[in-house]
Amino acid sequence: MYSPMGTPYSVKSGAGTPHPGGIVNEYAVRAEALEKRYGEKRALDGFDLTVRRGTVHGLLGPNGAGKTTAVRVLSTLLRYDSGHALVAGFDVARDPRRVRGRIGLTGQYAAVDEVMTGRQNLEMFGRLFHLGGRRAARRATELLEQFDLVEAADKGVDGYSGGMRRRLDLASSMILAPDVLFLDEPTTGLDPRGRGEVWDAVRELVAGGTTVLLTTQYLEEADKLASRITVIDNGRAIADDTPDGLKNTVGGDRIEVQVSGDDGLDAAWNAVARVAETVPELDRAERRVHAAVTDRVAALTDVARALRDQGVAVEDIGLRRPSLDDVFLRLTGHRTDTEEESAA
């Protein structure tokens, strides 16, 4: 039997509903031509998405692009107007209860009780999921170990760091070990150490078989965690590839030269032009020249030798790969909101 999207699945006797144990499919999430309208505004406008099982899949886009709407639709919190969506093998519109039984959702802010201890929080969530007292306590202990919170287990959450709170929040969303976990801006407001702690926790989840759909404006986060990334803008997926594949759309390696004085700019431009694939770009304010190259090592060696022979004082010279921010700029016409705020 097949779903409306052509995905094969088995059927429980008499139920007519896909069962995850019999899914012959490599994807944990599939969305096709999703539309969600608010009056005249289309929050989702033919949105497509496929997320491979057991991976972290990044969903990037500027504010208002449709990221949160997509997550709310796929997690059954919001009904869509048209299209099709399967999550963990079940149709989001026809079987929302079965979808909810197989997913977890963590929002931008930790939803834990600061008055209680970490252990008490997890046991409370276990009881809310009808595990019963003993099973809830046992599951809480397992999760405290998994998320490296054993030492802080019996301390009040009000004394936790930001990273510890987010790890506890992730743990609470894993009470029933979901097949798919939706992470919506999971490290917003965290310092670098806290962000790294959350990244480690996410990697542990995926190693255990959970599929993660990650929405984020931190491009470094998507680059480090996601094996594949979808870029969304104006309610549509405008790109979908691996991080390296997306970077390759901007161009390959680039050589950059920053000279110490304005009088060396022309020589630097000429040296780079001889090895570059494209016309070098010149930033006079920064006294910097850069361009795409193919043979990275030979290009760097040739430029460095030419500048040395001409006596040009170099402040910095090196090779760099395009970043996801370069990709974002190319695809959407502007940098991420996070980057714009930091530059302001």
Q: Place 63 in a pLDDT band, splitting at 50, 70 and 90.
A: confident
Of the CA atoms within 13 Å of residue 115, those in its CB half-sphere come to 1
Average pLDDT over residues 24-32: 86
Average pLDDT over residues 196-209: 85
Chain-wide mean pLDDT for the chain?
A: 83
What residue type is assigned to position 43 of the chain? Answer: A
Interhelix angle 118-128/162-173, rounded to 10 degrees, is 20
Domain 253-320 fold: Alpha-Beta Plaits (3.30.70)
pLDDT at 99: 93
Fold match between 10-242 and 253-320? no
Q: Where are the domains of the chain?
A: 10-242, 253-320
What residue type is assigned to position 265 of the chain? Answer: L
pLDDT at 335: 52
Average pLDDT over residues 323-333: 79
* pLDDT higher than 70, residue 51: yes
pLDDT at 22: 41
Q: Place 109 in a pLDDT band, splitting at 50, 70 and 90.
A: low
Pairwise CA distance, residues 217 & 8, whole Å:
34
* pLDDT higher than 90, residue 268: yes
* pLDDT higher than 90, residue 248: no
Average pLDDT over residues 74-79: 94
| Closest of 209, 212, 177 to residue 198, by C-alpha | 212
Average pLDDT over residues 299-313: 93
* pLDDT higher than 60, residue 338: no
* pLDDT higher than 60, residue 343: no
- CA 151-112-188 angle, to 5 degrees, is 95
pLDDT at 175: 80
Top-confidence range, 83-92, 106-115, 240-249, 294-303: 83-92
* pLDDT higher than 70, residue 5: no
Output 2 or 254, whichever has higher pLDDT: 254
Output 13 or 70, whichever has higher pLDDT: 70
Assign domain 10-242 to its CATH architecture. Answer: 3-Layer(aba) Sandwich (3.40)
Percentage above 90 pLDDT, the chain: 45
